[in-house]
Amino acid sequence: MVSNGPGSDPRWRPLTAARPAMSPEWWRWVASRDSLTTRLVDAGGHRDFRVRLLDQRLGRPRRDEALTLGLPLGRLAWLREVALCLDEQPWVMARSVVPLDGLHGQRLDHLGERSLGSWLFRQPDLLRGPIEVTADPPPFHASSGPWARRSVFRHRRFSVLVQECFLDTMTDDLGLPSR
């Protein structure tokens, strides 16, 4: 379920602030600005890639999400949570928040289990804001992992806050450093 429960906000920091603690191997993943979907498919090799839709609905963003999107607290938005899986093993948990005023009916529910990135990166003049990171546990999922990141994509009046948690399963399957 999409969680909007109480709990402290993660301590999001600019990517560069995490540099000394982040290994070069992880930097190549966390700092990448192209499609994570494409990178996961490539890194997965023979493994089958799949987006597992966990939930998507109208809901109230968390405080840190609303602040990042410039939304008044309590304003409804479109919430989508997925697991990006290789051979049914979740490697990334993602939660996206879309303000309704930018949707003009482009409800993302038509996406289903197609990757948000497969649509986003086809949009002309797509802009991606700065990437922020945290080593705090993601408030929207109980899974654990070394890093989580977030950034805002904009395309005309559409905007979406995309948050991605890289999981320990990905660390193990790709033989990445613990941080």
Ligand X SMILES: C=C(O[C@@H]1C=C(C(=O)O)C=C[C@H]1O)C(=O)O
Known binding-site residues for substrate equal 80, 116, 164
| Residue 116 touching ligand X (CB under 6 A) | yes
The verdict on 138 binding ligand X (CB under 6 A) reads no
* Options 35, 89, 143, 169; binder of ligand X; rule CB under 6 A: 35
Of the residues 82, 83, 85, 176, which one makes contact with ligand X according to CB under 6 A: 82
* Site residue total, ligand X (CB under 6 A): 16
Options 17-25, 31-39, 123-131, 141-149: segment touching ligand X (CB under 6 A):
31-39
Q: Report d(CA 111, CA 71) in Å as an integer.
A: 24
Judged by the rule CB under 6 A, the positions of this chain that interact with ligand X are 35-37, 51, 80, 82, 84, 92, 94, 96, 115-117, 120, 162, 164
